[in-house]
Amino acid sequence: NAGVMQNPRHLVRRRGQEARLRCSPMKGHSHVYWYRQLPEEGLKFMVYLQKENIIDESGMPKERFSAEFPKEGPSILRIQQVVRGDSAAYFCASSPTGGANYGYTFGSGTRLTVV
């Protein structure tokens, strides 16, 4: 089992560009969680998705950010018109069932730098 796979590991974007972050869950997992970690800070919940459904996006900014988890393929976190404040590490985790009452296995993260 390859674990939770995220790519790219590092992503550099100029202000105003789009960033696409990918997360492939563990085999057999159909639930994905995205968290953002600003430099020197903790992990902030962004969004929870099941296949083809957004279940909870209460932590995701209303503008410029979107997430999807299609029937086939990885989950995508998309940030449009990036700004310097979007620079952070973005981690995803997956689970076989819904709910948060178990420990997460995180991917290695994508470190986004906006220049």
Q: What residues make contact with other proteins under the rule CB under 8 A? A: 33, 35, 41-45, 48, 55-56, 58-59, 91, 98-109
Beta carbon of residue 48, minimum distance to other proteins (angstroms, whole number): 4
76 vs 104, beta carbon nearer other proteins:
104
Beta carbon of residue 34, minimum distance to other proteins (angstroms, whole number): 10
25 vs 107, beta carbon nearer other proteins:
107
42 vs 85, beta carbon nearer other proteins:
42
59 vs 113, beta carbon nearer other proteins:
59
Beta carbon of residue 112, minimum distance to other proteins (angstroms, whole number): 14
Question: What does the alpha-carbon distance between residue 42 and residue 81 come to, in Å, rounded to a whole number?
Answer: 24
Residue-wise burial string across 36-69, b where 16 or more C-beta atoms lie within 10 A, e elsewhere = beeeeeeeeebbbbeeeeeeebeebeeeebebeb
Beta carbon of residue 78, minimum distance to other proteins (angstroms, whole number): 20
